[in-house]
A and B are shown apart, each in its own frame.
Chain A
């Protein structure tokens, strides 16, 4: 009981500290400023793009890990999990060395297509995808592993080919894991800071997401920083609560 309350305090006390600093009277003016609206728009776009890319690439990867036996699978899974434990700044540096203008891949990419990822919005998406996709891969892999595969066999005896089985049986049956993975992935992408500032830099309207805006504002305009933090808390709470009721609560 005491430990439980103490555990709750770990979450509540910092939140209370934040709320105590909110300049309520100036809040509308602060939130209406273009720094905040730019960052909010950019955060929404980049976090959703990261979720979309994670889904397109992460579901097949989860499939490989759950269903296909191949040598070195343990190593592959460890590599997939790496961004979960790596400090985001390290991840950002790694991205810079790989995809930067003079990076391993980035230089060839730039020569071939003229595409430069650092200091671009696309770079923010890449950084967010890098740190967030493991959540999707691991939850979907778990869902695929715990699913009763005999349902797929049953579908096959009813004439369903591999693609139909995937679309009409496997994916719907792992939907709870998929939704949980998407939510976790989005949350991680939405809150991403370290890899973004290291790899994509910080420029209002182009690469300055809400967490970066908070960080910069903290040193220049504390009230704005608090206001942005409040926005992040509110958006996160709304999304998590809504999805929880709709998807997890119902099950």
Chain B
């Protein structure tokens, strides 16, 4: 009986070990990137793989806060690209970052509205109108924290109808016309094209998001991770980011 219990424990640990070590470290770079980087990093992945044949960049896109939790729980990740400094700081404070995180891009906020702007939204003040369906990112998610900061700066008490788990989910509901307005990144509006309209948030109330990137201490492929970060910070990476509407440091 005891022997069998030991066997069971070994099995369970072996199973856990498999997940922790990850598979082939050579040729595969695991990048956890904020949801707002979805389109830009897809382009960067393509460009990097073209420049480094045989290397496979695997993107894991989600809210920075979700990615942070995954990393803290020991997920096998080489590179972390966050949509705000706070989440990166938490990971760095846990001693899980190699060197200093570098800011590689910046972003601003816009109010996204469905085509034709059915709610007649002209600025942050309109978000307090009860009859409109207004969405934000949830508090704790970078786009949600930035949006709340911007609303506070403008002195607006928004009548929020939903706290979406990430910026893409929020944008989708605006595109579908289910929401009359949602505060998202300028880059998201640019990427969505004609299916959504962007209303500018004045510079005085706007909040400039900073995107830091870092190689992680537990990286299964530290060499590849360094190379990928250098690529993002380099001329090619900057050009792609600018093309997607990001500001550059």
The answer for the CA separation of A18 and B23 in the assembled complex, in Å, is 27
For window 101-153 of B, CB contacts with A under 8 Å fall at: 133, 135, 138-141
Q: Which of B5-13, B31-39, B222-230 contacts A (4 or more CB under 8 A)?
A: B5-13
Partner of A2, one of B4, B135, B139: B4
Chain A 191-228 per-residue mask, 1 if CB under 8 angstroms from chain B, else 0: 00000011001111011100000011011111000000
B157 to chain A, nearest CB (A): 15
Q: Is A119 an interface residue (CB 8 A)?
A: yes
Q: Is B173 an interface residue (CB 8 A)?
A: yes
Chain B 1-24 per-residue mask, 1 if CB under 8 angstroms from chain A, else 0: 000110110011000000000000
For window 53-99 of B, CB contacts with A under 8 Å fall at: 63, 65-66, 68-69
Query: Which residues from A are CB-within-8-Å of B160?
Result: 203
Q: Is B50 an interface residue (CB 8 A)?
A: no
The answer for the CA separation of A221 and B164 in the assembled complex, in Å, is 16
Partner of A220, one of B4, B139, B164, B178: B139
Most chain B beta-carbon neighbours within 10 Å: one of A96, A101, A215:
A101
The answer for the CA separation of A222 and B141 in the assembled complex, in Å, is 14
Pairwise interchain contact B138-A96, C-beta atoms closer than 8 A: no
Interface size class of A (residues with CB under 8 A): 20 to 34
Pairwise interchain contact A218-B69, C-beta atoms closer than 8 A: yes
Please, which residue of chain A has its CB at the minimum distance from the CB of B173? A201
Query: Which residues from A are CB-within-8-Å of B28?
Result: none
Pairwise interchain contact B162-A203, C-beta atoms closer than 8 A: yes
B84 to chain A, nearest CB (A): 12
Number of interface residues of B (CB under 8 A): 29
The answer for the CA separation of A219 and B173 in the assembled complex, in Å, is 21
| B interface secondary structure, majority | mixed
Chain B 152-183 per-residue mask, 1 if CB under 8 angstroms from chain A, else 0: 00000000111111000100010011110000
Partner of B178, one of A9, A100, A218, A222: A100
Q: Is A147 an interface residue (CB 8 A)?
A: no
Q: Is A102 an interface residue (CB 8 A)?
A: yes
Pairwise interchain contact B178-A203, C-beta atoms closer than 8 A: no
Q: Is A116 an interface residue (CB 8 A)?
A: yes
B136 to chain A, nearest CB (A): 10
Please, which residue of chain B has its CB at the minimum distance from the CB of A221? B140
Please, which residue of chain A has its CB at the minimum distance from the CB of B177? A102
Pairwise interchain contact B178-A118, C-beta atoms closer than 8 A: yes
Number of A-B contacts (CB under 8 A): 80
Please, which residue of chain A has its CB at the minimum distance from the CB of B160? A203
Q: Is A19 an interface residue (CB 8 A)?
A: no
For window 1-29 of A, CB contacts with B under 8 Å fall at: 1-2, 5-6, 9, 13
Query: Which residues from B are CB-within-8-Å of A2?
Result: 4, 7-8
B247 to chain A, nearest CB (A): 25
B13 to chain A, nearest CB (A): 11
Partner of A219, one of B7, B69, B169: B69
For window 177-199 of A, CB contacts with B under 8 Å fall at: 197-198
Partner of B162, one of A96, A97, A116, A207: A207
Pairwise interchain contact A219-B140, C-beta atoms closer than 8 A: yes
The answer for the CA separation of A222 and B94 in the assembled complex, in Å, is 15
Query: Which residues from B are CB-within-8-Å of A1?
Result: 4
Partner of B66, one of A118, A119, A219, A221: A219
Can you report 23 residue pairs joining A to B where beta carbons are below 8 Å apart? Answer: A2-B4, A2-B8, A5-B5, A5-B8, A6-B8, A9-B8, A96-B176, A97-B176, A100-B177, A100-B178, A102-B178, A118-B133, A119-B161, A119-B162, A119-B178, A201-B173, A206-B161, A207-B162, A216-B139, A218-B69, A219-B141, A220-B65, A220-B140
Identify the B interface with A (CB < 8 A): 4-5, 7-8, 11-12, 63, 65-66, 68-69, 133, 135, 138-141, 160-165, 169, 173, 176-179
Q: Ordered nearest first, which 3 A-B pairs have the shortest CB separation? A: A201-B162, A220-B140, A219-B65
Identify the A interface with B (CB < 8 A): 1-2, 5-6, 9, 13, 96-97, 100-102, 116, 118-119, 197-198, 201-204, 206-208, 215-216, 218-222
14 other contacts beyond A202-B165, A216-B165, A221-B140, with CB at 8 A cut-off? A96-B176, A100-B176, A101-B133, A101-B178, A102-B177, A197-B169, A201-B164, A202-B164, A208-B163, A215-B165, A219-B65, A219-B66, A219-B69, A220-B140
